[in-house]
Structure 1
C-alpha cells in the first residue's frame, strides 16, 4: 500500500473514539470533538544520602496518567452517557476499554491509543447562555488503569 503524501504531519481533527462494551450499545458513538489526556509521566522518589549535600538522588517510581477527557455535542439518547450515569448516580461501575484512533485522509488508522478499564469520574454539560449561538457540549472525564500507544 502506497503511503499518502498527506500522512505527515497528521492532522489532529481526524479521529474516532470507540468504547469496547461487551454488548452492542454505543457501537456507533465514535464521534467526539475533543480528546485530551494523551500523555504520561514518570514519577520519581527523592533520596538524600547522609553527608552528601550537593545533590539529591532521584529514582524512577512509576508511571502517572492524567484523566482521559472526551468532549462532544450533547446526545440526549447516548448509551455512553447512560453508562456514565449508572456509575455516577447508582455506583454501578462497569469498566470498559476505549480506543482512540488517529486517522489519515483516507480514513485509515495511523496510530491508536488503547485505554484499559476506563470508568467515569465526571460528566458535565456546557453552560446555557441566551446571548450565545453555541451548541451544548457534554464532557466525560474518565479514569483508567493505563494505556498503550500502537502504530496501526
Structure 2
C-alpha cells in the first residue's frame, strides 16, 4: 500500500516561504515580497606587537542590520507608505515595530522576525508601461535598529 504521509515526521520538509504576514504596529498589510532580513557581526582585526603569528586575529564587533525591502500592489486610495514617509521632519520620524511572520498551513506563525524602531528610508513607485501586463507594484525600504527572531 502506498504511503499517505500521515506517519511522516514534521521536520522532514523545510517550510514554504509563500505564506507570510506583515504587521505594522497593529495594522496587517499584504505584501508580495519581503527581503533583507539579515544581520552581520562586523569583524574587528587586531594584532599585538609580540605575536608570533604574522597576521591579525579577528574578533566579532558591532552588529549591523541591513534595510528591509517590501513590495506590495498599488490600490486605489492606499497611501500608507507615503503618509508614513511624509512624517519625516528634520531628524524625527515615527518609528514603529514591524513584525514579519512565516505562517504554516493553518495560518499560525512558525517563524517571526521583529524589526525594532523601523522607519522608511526609500519609496519606489511603480513603473508604467503602455504595453505591460503586470500589476502595479510599489516598494518601501525601511531601516531599523534591531532584528529578533522567534520560532512559533
Same fold (TM over 0.5): yes
| TM-score normalised per structure 1 | 0.82
Q: Deviations over 1:123-146 (max 9, x none)?
A: 111311112211111101001110
Quick check: 1:44 aligned with 2:49? no
Aligned partner of 1:11 among 8, 12, 16: 16
Q: Deviations over 1:64-94 (max 9, x none)?
A: 1100111011134335314333235x55511
Equivalent pairs counted in the alignment come to 143
Report deviation, 1:46. Answer: 1.1
Contact 1:111 1:150 in 2 (8 A): yes
| TM-score normalised per structure 2 | 0.82
The CA RMSD over aligned residues, in Å, is: 2.4
Could you tell me which runs of 5 or more consecutive residues in structure 2 were left unpaired when the two chains were aligned. 1-7
Greater radius of gyration (CA)? 2
Partner of 2:5: none
Q: Deviations over 1:1-43 (max 9, x none)?
A: xx9959931111100000015xxxxx2x421010011111110
Quick check: 1:34 aligned with 2:33? yes
Contact 1:7 1:105 in 2 (8 A): no
Poorly superposed stretches of 4+, deviation over 6 Å:
none
Q: State how far apart, in whole Å, the 2-side matches of 1:55 and 1:75 are.
A: 57
Contact 1:6 1:105 in 2 (8 A): no
Change (3 A) 1:129 1:10: same
Partner of 2:64: 64
Could you tell me which runs of 5 or more consecutive residues in structure 1 were left unpaired when the two chains were aligned. 22-26
